[in-house]
Amino acid sequence: MPIHTLSIDSPLGTWTLHATPTHLTRLTPGHTNKPSPDRGAAPAVLNDAAERLAVYLAGQPVSFDDLPLAPAGTPFQQRVWAALRQIPRGQTRTYGRLARELGQPTAARAVGAANARNPIPVLIPCHRVIAATGKLQGFALGLDLKQKLLDLEQAPARARQSPLLPV
């Protein structure tokens, strides 16, 4: 099955989306050197995902819930990635809490390993998982980007909580 790619520029850098004709399979930072099989025939899922990702990276709320994703991974990784998609925007979970939610309370390290192998970061929000201490830990794309993504998600909530200024 051919893999199509599409790169977008954003305030947080360039990102390349990879998709089959029906499902998004990867999201990688930077441009890809691999051209799509037919540049004029990008699948709808690729264009839709690129538009939503651009909105998200511009700091606006957007949902990825109904995007058809097909990350390659083990059954356990698939369970972890499905659980990550349930973490609401602007919120975080610890590795241990995710392990407990999966019914495997001693699997916090395995959850971390699955997070590290997430092929569709941001859309499968592995950046929302933090250490039990509340500190940032373990983001394959770097802790600086992890912090920027969390800040981007929490900014609208902070703005809604700020008092109104007198006119």
Distance, in Å, from the CA atom of 63 to the CA atom of 122, rounded to the nearest integer, reads 11
The CA distances from residue 59 to 53, 103, 128, 135, 151, in Å, are 10, 34, 16, 22, 9
The verdict on whether 18 is a catalytic residue reads: no
- Show the tokens assigned to 10: 């954003």
DSSP track, 9-31: EETTEEEEEEE-SS-EEEEEES-
Direct distance between the N- and C-terminal alpha carbons of the chain, in angstroms, rounded to an integer: 59
Distance, in Å, from the CA atom of 85 to the CA atom of 36, rounded to the nearest integer, reads 28
Distance, in Å, from the CA atom of 38 to the CA atom of 86, rounded to the nearest integer, reads 34
Of residues 57, 126, 149, 152, which has the active-site annotation? 126
Angle between helices 108-116 and 75-84 (to 10 degrees): 90
Report, as residue numbers or ranges, the catalytic residues.
126
